[in-house]
Amino acid sequence: MQILDGKKASQAIRDELKIEVAQLAIEGKKVPHLAAILVGNNGASETYVAAKVKACEEVGFKSTLIRMEADTTENRLLEQIEDLNNDPDVDGILVQLPLPKHISDEKVINAIDPDKDVDGFHPVSVGKMVLGTPTFLPATPHGIMLLLKYYKVETKGKHAVVIGRSNIVGRPMSVLLSGNGNPGNCTVTICHSNTKDLKEFCLQADIIVAALGRPEFVTADMVKEGAVVIDVGITRVEDDTRKSGFRLKGDVQYDTVAPKCSYITPVPGGVGPMTIAALMKNTFNSCKMKN
């Protein structure tokens, strides 16, 4: 069993980007600039945005964090996005989800200029991804593809089972894995909360991507020997022994599943860091297109 170390792979990608950014600076060109908007002060969102801003600093990108109050109106947020759309210095715009209930995710995503949609959630980006046209790929599935590539995991002809069909993880993951590329060329089954006999599908899987947000949902009896298991889940569970009062759990029961796998991602340290690496790559590419 080999651990797919997201920290290591992510660091390798960020090291490459660092060199490319330094080169841009030497050539007197503009360096990438990511603008992140955080509405409210959800604890997990604060952590994710802080990690993204830190990653920008590390690779030499410019970053701007715009904090807005939880009771910000939808119109005010849309105006803020429009300002960033019109700012020629900004290459990538990220609005941290989830948003407060009174704000429509859909309106906000649709308001972002597709040329700056480094999260890859805009319908134009999604459409291009489905068609296999170059575009910004959604960061988490893109990060998983980069991780599979980094470890040269064979995907061609394999049966991949994706658990979860959200627009940000499960659905695009199924599209990318079934695409005609490397990694890719899988036969994909997508499961969700209405899937009957989910365990039977999982037992047929060469690759399982668990993205449902149910801690330790995938157990050893659901996994065949030699499978590749990608755990996307991150759930905060109470833990009084930690200073924070919580710890992170994945969707896979790691201790029992890992011994059966050929490859597995840990939580934390697997998919999470790859999501950030993919976001950095998207932002860099956005800047390069304009440079």
Closest approach, Cβ 29 to ligand NAP, in A, equals 30
Closest approach, Cβ 236 to ligand NAP, in A, equals 9
**Under the criterion CB under 6 A, does residue 168 sit at the interface with ligand NAP?**
yes
Tell me what percent of the chain is helix, strand and coil, each rounded to the nearest 5: 45, 20, 40
Residues paired with residue 238 on neighbouring β-strands, in sequence order: 246
As a whole number of angstroms, the distance between CA 271 and CA 44 comes to: 16
Q: Is 87 a catalytic residue?
A: no
**Under the criterion CB under 6 A, does residue 175 sit at the interface with ligand NAP?**
no
Stretch that binds ligand NAP, among 69-77, 102-110, 149-157, 159-167 (CB under 6 A): 159-167
**Under the criterion CB under 6 A, does residue 229 sit at the interface with ligand NAP?**
no
Peptide bond into 32 cis (omega under 30): no
Query: Among the options 91, 96, 158, 253, which is catalytic?
Result: 96
Residues paired with residue 63 on neighbouring β-strands, in sequence order: 34
**Under the criterion CB under 6 A, does residue 142 sit at the interface with ligand NAP?**
no
Among 21, 234, 261, 264, binds ligand NAP (CB under 6 A): 234
Closest approach, Cβ 157 to ligand NAP, in A, equals 25
**Under the criterion CB under 6 A, does residue 197 sit at the interface with ligand NAP?**
no
Q: Is 5 a catalytic residue?
A: no
**Under the criterion CB under 6 A, does residue 211 sit at the interface with ligand NAP?**
yes
User: Which is nearest to 211 in space by CA: 270, 155, 153?
Assistant: 270
Closest approach, Cβ 182 to ligand NAP, in A, equals 23
Structure token digits, residue 7: 């920290």
SS3 at position 257 = helix
Closest approach, Cβ 203 to ligand NAP, in A, equals 15
Four-point Cα dihedral 248, 100, 69, 43, nearest 10: -10
Residues paired with residue 264 on neighbouring β-strands, in sequence order: 3, 229
Q: Is 149 a catalytic residue?
A: no
Chain positions 237 to 276 lying near ligand NAP, rule: CB under 6 A, are 271-272, 275
Query: Among the options 52, 116, 158, 281, which is catalytic?
Result: 52
User: Which is nearest to 3 in space by CA: 277, 202, 252?
Assistant: 252
> Is the CA virtual torsion 239, 169, 143, 287 positive or negative?
negative
Among 94, 126, 169, 261, binds ligand NAP (CB under 6 A): 169
Stretch that binds ligand NAP, among 84-92, 114-122, 185-193, 253-261 (CB under 6 A): 185-193
- Is the CB of residue 70 less than 8 Å from the CB of residue 41? yes
What is the phi/psi pair of residue 246, to 5°? -150, 165
Query: Among the options 119, 206, 231, 251, which is catalytic?
Result: 119
**Under the criterion CB under 6 A, does residue 207 sit at the interface with ligand NAP?**
no
As a whole number of angstroms, the distance between CA 69 and CA 53 comes to: 19
What is the phi/psi pair of residue 158, to 5°? -85, 155
Four-point Cα dihedral 250, 253, 258, 263, nearest 10: -40
**Under the criterion CB under 6 A, does residue 174 sit at the interface with ligand NAP?**
no
Closest approach, Cβ 26 to ligand NAP, in A, equals 33
**Under the criterion CB under 6 A, does residue 164 sit at the interface with ligand NAP?**
yes
Instruction: Catalogue the active-site residues.
Output: 52, 96, 119
- By the criterion CB under 6 A, which residues form the site for ligand NAP? 140, 163-166, 168-170, 191-195, 198, 211-214, 232-235, 271-272, 275
